[in-house]
Structure 1
Amino acid sequence: MSAVLALRLLLAPGGERNDAVIVGDIRSADLTGSSRHDVLIPCGSSPSPTPYPVAPGRYVVSASLPSGLVLTQSAVAVEGRETPVDFAMTDSPYETHAWQYLMGNIEPGGVYHGAARSPLAESVASRPLVAAAPRPDGAGPGGAVDLAALATWIGDCAPARWSFASILDLAQAPPGTSVAGSIGSGGPRVLPAPFDAGGAVTPLYRFGPNGPVGAPGGPVGERQFLVVEAAGSVRLVTLPLPWGDAEAEVLVNLRQSPTGSAVSVSVRDADVGAGLAYLAQGALDTAARLFTDVEAMLDSEPGNPLAAAAGCYVLIGTDHTPGETRWDPWLERLADGFPWLADGAILRAVRLLRRPSGDRRDVRRGRDGLIEAFDRGIPFYTLGLSWLADGLAAFPEDPECARRLDEARRLSWLADTREPFLILDLRQRRT
């Protein structure tokens, strides 16, 4: 009979269960045991541990968090016994924000409740929407802001208004120009302040397929956005909706901080929610452990094309199989079946350009696909914007590609590259 290590990660008790799965490793500490790589660790307020049989011996178990941090625990596996290995991330500042804490979008509770200090950000890019002057002791949260006027939901947006040219025009518009009024075609709606424990400093907004949770209302179109405004800064937030039955969360962090983003978007998907954060880090191999069922996502009629697109970014980024693959038709289906999804066209084009065959027809189709992707409008995924610009740059002598490359690059300067979904700072605050 072998020994067993039972792994789990505990989040803040109470509130919602916050179930998720992250990736870790089991390594033999005395070189006599059996190491296991890329194991899956369940997370939540009280998740059932996942058992992993190992040879008896001493082990170091690690959990790779979506934030990039790595937690470690020592364990002794005993013959015939199940040894629990519990990681703890129970110091979220608010129970309602446990998922955000796991994703790395918010600091520990002590930073918000006075038990710890956090150094202040120095760079403009690291500053949040509200950056109050620090107190004499060097610490200090962000200043006050009217939460009732902080976020405006745009449920329906005409395709012409999410084009590269339209968004760049908004970034150059005079101060005071209404971004929500300019981009929304279905009646933008100012959202009330969230009623949660962290509302004063870290308001958390939740969205479902039909709009804000608790206050749905149409019309809802092919793309939904959120405009977040405070202290002269305006961020246009891409909402990854609809995402099946899962909700999307938008966290606005109103304190000055050297880590994280001022606005973060995550999807409350227990299976692949953490995978999206790994994707944003560039840890595609780690993300691939969670996007294991891309084929089901890309069935004949994908019920969740956004999740399918994320899975395809991971596939193309990690699978370098030469020639045709069984998943090439999936890319065709995703690109052709959802004309509002620029990411589908980006993925197909990049795949064609990366094939090692050197077939001129693939190169031409890839070039045409990049132009098609650009003309569909801004992508959902930040990685998609990067791949689009890289692809267009491969055709420097092509005037059609060069013009689009210029706009794609200028838009990328406004993007928060730490986020999986495209968030654009349209009024970059200067101090």
Structure 2
Amino acid sequence: MTTGLSVIVALSLDEPDLSDGAKIVGSIYPADDSGIAHRNVLFPCGTSAPPARYEVAPGRYTVSATLPSGVVLSRDAEAHEGRDTPVTLRAAPSPYESHSWQYLMGNIEPYEAYHDGSTIPVPRSQGSRSGVWESDSIVEPGHAAWIGDPEPAGWHFAQMLTLADGLAERQAVFELAHTAPHSVAHLALGDDAARLYRFGARGPLDEEGNSTLSGPTGPRQFLVVALAGSEYVVTLPAPWGGAQIEVMVNERQSPTGSAVSVSVRDSHVGPALGYMTRGAFDAAATLVRDAETLLYAKMTNPLAAVAGAYILVGSELTEQPHRWDPWLDYLRHEFDWMSDGSLLWAMRHLRRAHSETERNAARDALVEAFDRGVPVFTLGLSRLIHGLSEFPDDPECAHRLDQARRLSYRVDMREPFVIVALRGRQQ
């Protein structure tokens, strides 16, 4: 029998929809030169997922994992000849089991800090405690407005800037919606200071994962929330295959500083987005490469494919061709309701351009991306600004660059998906 270490990260993830838990990037290092190292490997996180087994030589090892939040877990273990040695990396508990996915992503404090009265951060304002909108709002206190079927031009830069600058004639929900928006109550989970909402492909879900509303849905979906006297237009990355989208509206000062956080309860891509948001592209790429076949085999989940492409393009520093290059063409031409596909194509080709013709092709893709509207992913907005700035003498690029920059001042760049703060409140 061979010698092995069986590793798991112990953190309950409120897991009815996550039978395999989440995948976390870690490493196994020998204490001396005689052992076998495993670098940038995947460990399961959760209570229902089986541990991951790695063969090693007998001896002492250090096993470590970095959570998407940036928290590092580590412990020493001794592997014995012909035996499997279990290794459990224990994370501090989440403030509520229902909020454990947000905790894994680093959007909320651990249990001890959250529930210790002496360390509670100052709330954003006393007004934020109620979650009340203006008196003529369709949204009740503690609720949000789901826009499942927005106007086709609703996510274009001109419209978003009009909303962000407070120049719209009507409330944001009515400016954005094509069919009637819906008031959505937060889930009866945790407390009212960190409100959770969950969404599936067709709209809001209840605590058990069942749909609570039915209605038409468009290619993009949004949520409008109010907090501390400001409104936020939240991009919902829906549909995301069978995975749930989770939104947390945090009245406390969160670890990231974000008032609203959006994450996808996807065992691979969800943590990868957490790593990407914090700049850990190598860790994110480890997860995406592990899931490449799942992401791109049939392109049934274009948003997950785009997320993977952002990570692969962002972590690739050479010009050599890759088997995923044709996927960028497909994302650009088959999903014209989002600008991210054109952006990814432009990023990749601008980096590899060696002629004026190639640069012009990348330039045209950037203009196309802008004209398709605000990206789903925050990284896309950043890359759009960077790309357009490469053409300072082009009037069409300069005009679009000005609008993209203006909107970026209202966008929380710490979040993976675009969240726009309205009515003069800059991030």
Q: TM-score, normalised by structure 2?
A: 0.90
Question: Structure 1: which 5+ runs fail to align?
Answer: 121-127, 134-141
1:240-263 CA distance string (max 9 Å, x none): 011111110001111234544211
Give the drift of 1:326: 3.0
Partner in structure 2 of residue 184 of structure 1: 177
Moved more, 179-188 or 364-373: 179-188
Q: Tell whether the 8 Å contact from 1:6 to 1:83 is kept in structure 2 after alignment.
A: yes
Moved over 6 A (4+): none
Partner in structure 2 of residue 307 of structure 1: 304
Residue 260 of structure 2 aligns with an amino acid whose one-letter code is V
SS in 1 for 2:214: coil
Partner in structure 2 of residue 131 of structure 1: 125
1:367 aligns with 2:369: no
Residue 295 of structure 2 aligns with an amino acid whose one-letter code is M
Structure 1 residues 31-430: aligned runs within 5 Å = 31-89=33-91, 91-114=93-116, 117-118=119-120, 120=122, 130-132=124-126, 143-146=129-132, 148-173=141-166, 177-196=170-189, 198-213=190-205, 214-257=211-254, 259-292=256-289, 293-294=291-292, 296-299=294-297, 302-322=299-319, 324-355=321-352, 357-429=353-425
Give the drift of 1:234: 1.0
Q: Tell whether the 8 Å contact from 2:5 to 2:79 is kept in structure 1 after alignment.
A: yes
Give the drift of 1:9: 1.0
> How many correspondences in the alignment?
412
Q: 1:80 to 1:70 in 2, by over 3 A?
A: same
Q: Tell whether the 8 Å contact from 1:148 to 1:190 is kept in structure 2 after alignment.
A: no
1:3 aligns with 2:3: yes
Give the drift of 1:13: 7.8
Q: Tell whether the 8 Å contact from 2:165 to 2:424 is kept in structure 1 after alignment.
A: no
- Quote the Cα distance in structure 2 between the aligned partners of 1:182 and 1:84: 56
Give the drift of 1:81: 1.7
SS in 1 for 2:5: strand
Partner in structure 2 of residue 23 of structure 1: 25
Q: Tell whether the 8 Å contact from 1:371 to 1:401 is kept in structure 2 after alignment.
A: yes
- Quote the Cα distance in structure 2 between the aligned partners of 1:315 and 1:158: 32
Residue 222 of structure 1 aligns with an amino acid whose one-letter code is P
Give the drift of 1:402: 0.3
Give the drift of 1:327: 2.4
- Quote the Cα distance in structure 2 between the aligned partners of 1:13 and 1:358: 48
Give the drift of 1:412: 1.1
Question: Structure 2: which 5+ runs fail to align?
Answer: 133-139, 206-210
- Quote the Cα distance in structure 2 between the aligned partners of 1:72 and 1:131: 38
SS in 2 for 1:289: helix
Give the drift of 1:328: 2.2
1:189-228 CA distance string (max 9 Å, x none): 11123222x1411111000010001312211101000011
1:25-50 CA distance string (max 9 Å, x none): 11122343222101101011232111
- Quote the Cα distance in structure 2 between the aligned partners of 1:31 and 1:324: 36
Q: 1:48 to 1:392 in 2, by over 3 A?
A: same
Q: Tell whether the 8 Å contact from 2:130 to 2:142 is kept in structure 1 after alignment.
A: no
Moved more, 322-331 or 409-418: 322-331
- Quote the Cα distance in structure 1 between the aligned partners of 2:257 and 2:198: 19
